[in-house]
Amino acid sequence: MTWLVTGGAGYIGAHVVREFLDAGMPVTVLDDLSTGRLGFLPGHVSFTRGTILDGSLLARVFDEHDVTGVVHVAGFKYAGVSVQRPLFTYEQNVDGTTVLLAAMQDRGVGRIVFSSSAAVYGTPDVDLVTEGTAKAPESPYGESKLIGEWLLRDQEVAAGLRHTSLRYFNVVGSGDPSIRDTSPHNLFPLVFDALVDGRTPRINGTDYPTPDGTCVRDYVHVSDIAKAHVAAARRLDADEPIERAYNLGSGSGVSVAEIMAAVARITGIPFQPELAPRRPGDPPRIVANGDLAARDLDWAMRHSLDDMVASAWAARQAAPTV
C-alpha cells in the first residue's frame, strides 16, 4: 500500500513526500533530478532516479514497492519557456503522463492525484476563478496540463481509473528550511535573489485597476498544497466520491506591492521597489475559489502572508552558498 510521488525531489514534490510520511502513509519517489534535489528528501525515503518516460522503469518501481497509487508531480513547469520549447514540454508533460498511465494500467494501479495548474484557465475574464471557469490555456505548458486532465478523464472511462487533478495557483513558502523554490521565474526567488545580490526588486505595472495599482494574485503556502495531496490520496484509497479537479486557492489574493512590503518587513532589508511598466498580457487580478477543496480535501489557508515570506526567506538563507 505505497504511494509513488513522481517528481518527489522537487520543491512541491518533496513537501508532498513529507506530508505523506507525517500521515504515516508509505511513499516512494521517482525523479530524474533535472530540477529536483536529493537534499530536499529525508535520507530514509526510498528513491529511484529516472524518468517517467521509461515505462520499464515505472513497472519495476511499481512491482518492487507494491505501489497502489500515484501522485504525479513530475513535469516541465516553466510556462514562459514552454513557448520556446513546445515539443520538449509536450514530451515531458503529455508523453510522460501517457507512459505513466499505461504502466499504471499494466500493473493494476488505479489511483492518481495529478499536479495540474491555474495555467489551464489562461487569462480568465472573471474576478473569482471556479473549477467551471472556461479553460483557455495560453502556453504549451498550460495546454499540456489540460491534456493531462483529459487523459485521466479518458482513462476513467476506459479503465475505471480513480483520479483527481489539483490546480495550483502561486505556490510559495517552505515547510522545512531544507526545501526551497529554486525556479528562476517565480516571484519569491526573484525578489530574494535580488536582495542577496544587492539589487532592487522590481514591480512590473503600478496602474492596474486594483486597490494599490499592482497585480493581485493568489498565493498559497506549499505545505497547505501538500496536505491537499494527502487528503486526496486518502479519499481515493477510501473509494469516497471525489471531483475530477479542484482549485487550490485563497479566495482573496495578495498584490505584488503587498508582497514587497512583507519581504522588506520580514527580511529586515529596507527597499523601495523599482517601478517598471506593465508586462504585456498580465491581467490585473487572478484569484481562485477553493470551496470545493475545502469541502472534500480539508483545504484551508493555514498560513498568513508573513508566514509565507518568513518560511521562504528562512529556506533561502539556509541554501548552500556553493
For the chain, which residues make up each domain, given as ranges? 2-171+219-248, 174-218+250-287+301-318
Residue 321: predicted pLDDT: 58
Amino acid 279: pLDDT:
82
Check if the beta carbon of residue 131 is closer than 8 Å to that of residue 288: no
Active site residue 141: yes
- Determine the pLDDT at residue 322: 43
Q: What's the mean pLDDT when you consider all of the chain?
A: 96
pLDDT digits (tens, 9 = 90+) for 68-113: 999 999 999 999 899 999 999 999 999 999 999 999 999 999 999 9
- Nearest of 101, 73, 79 to residue 183 by alpha carbon: 79
> CATH assignment of 2-171+219-248?
3.40.50.720
Distances (CA, A) of 292 to 118, 147, 170, 213: 15, 22, 18, 30
Note the pLDDT tens digit of each residue in 113-163: 999 999 999 989 898 999 999 999 999 999 999 999 999 999 999 999 999
Mapped onto helix, strand or coil, the DSSP state of residue 65 is helix
Distance separating alpha carbons of residues 218 and 252, to the nearest angstrom: 7
Which residues in the chain land under pLDDT 50? 322
Q: How far apart are CA 150 and CA 260, in angstroms?
A: 38
Supply the CATH classification number for the domain 174-218+250-287+301-318. Answer: 3.90.25.10
Q: What was the pLDDT predicted at 281?
A: 74
User: Residue 84 has what pLDDT?
Assistant: 94
Q: Do the domains 174-218+250-287+301-318 and 2-171+219-248 match in fold?
A: no
Q: Where are the alpha helices (DSSP H) in the chain?
A: 11-22, 55-65, 79-84, 86-90, 96-107, 140-159, 187-196, 222-237, 256-267, 291-297, 305-318
Could you say which of 11, 121, 141, 168 is catalytic? 141
CA angle 113, 163, 99 (to 5 degrees): 75
